[in-house]
Amino acid sequence: MEPRYQTVAQMYVRLQSMIRQRADTGFRRAAAEAVLQPRNPFEPQKRHLPKQGISIGISVFLILALVFLFFSFHPGR
């Protein structure tokens, strides 16, 4: 029996299909794990909440942006 060789394009398509079949890999999964709290295995339907540090950081950024916008468009006396 002879080995069957595949072209680079065929291997690329095969690799992409293998990656898409796995739900535990990928950039989306890595970003979700970095930003969201871990999933509770006993409540799989419950939404993930953001981690506390992420929430605080976004809140501080929004407050600073609002202060900047307020003083940028506020007519000075």
In-domain check, residue 2:
no
Domain residue limits at 35 = 8-39+48-73
In-domain check, residue 35:
yes
pLDDT in tens, the chain (77 residues): 677 888 999 999 999 898 888 877 778 888 888 899 988 888 888 888 899 999 999 999 999 999 999 999 988 76
Tokens, residue 2? 């002879």
In-domain check, residue 61:
yes
Q: What are phi and psi of 9, to 5 degrees?
A: -65, -40
Quick one: pLDDT at residue 54?
92
Domain count, the chain: 1
Quick one: pLDDT at residue 77?
65
Rounded-to-integer distance, Cα 46 and Cα 37, Å: 12
In-domain check, residue 1:
no
User: Do 50 and 34 form a contact (C-beta atoms < 8 A)?
Assistant: no
